[in-house]
Every structure is written in structure tokens, then in C-alpha cells.
Amino acid sequence: MYVHVTGTVTEPTQLASHAEEEVRVLRELKDDGIVLSAYRRHDRPGAFLLVEADSLQDAHDKLSRLPFAANGLVTYEYTEISPL
């Protein structure tokens, strides 16, 4: 299943100390075929991701590896989607 994930930054002042590890884990998730694409928002701090997972819970579990999420700096909203 495909999942559109909207990430909202809740603690922008604390991101810098986790940024390097966030990039490393995101790269792993992309290499593993879990995160298909990721985009930074320009209107406010946050991101959009396209994720492939077995379920919404599976997507949540996999993205919880990201340091921003694990440290409560970002919250995610998960929406199941399908190709047109």
C-alpha cells in the first residue's frame, strides 16, 4: 500500500542537533524502498513523504526510526493513497 505522510515540525529549535542522524536514517529508508520520495515544505517547517508499507501502522512503525519523530520534534499524519 502507498501512504502519503504529512510531517509537521513541533519543535523547530531542536532539529539541528538531530539533523545529521535524520538524513542518515532517511537515506536508509529510501534505500530499503520504504520512503519512495520526500519533500520539504516551503510554507512552514515540515515535510511530505510517499511511503510504501503493509499498513498505516506499518508506515508509522517504520517512520518512527527517524530521529525527529523518535524525539517528538515532528508529528506525522498518515493517509492511504492509490495511483490514479
Segments of the chain with pLDDT less than 70: none
Q: Which domains does the chain have, with CATH numbers?
A: 2-81 (3.30.70.1060)
- Tell me what pLDDT residue 33 has: 97
Three-state SS annotation for 39-67 = EECCCCCEEEEEEECCCHHHHHHHHCCCH
- Tell me what pLDDT residue 50 has: 98
- Tell me what pLDDT residue 22 has: 97
- Tell me what pLDDT residue 16 has: 95
Distance CA 34, CA 59 (A): 8
Distance CA 30, CA 38 (A): 9
- Tell me what pLDDT residue 75 has: 95
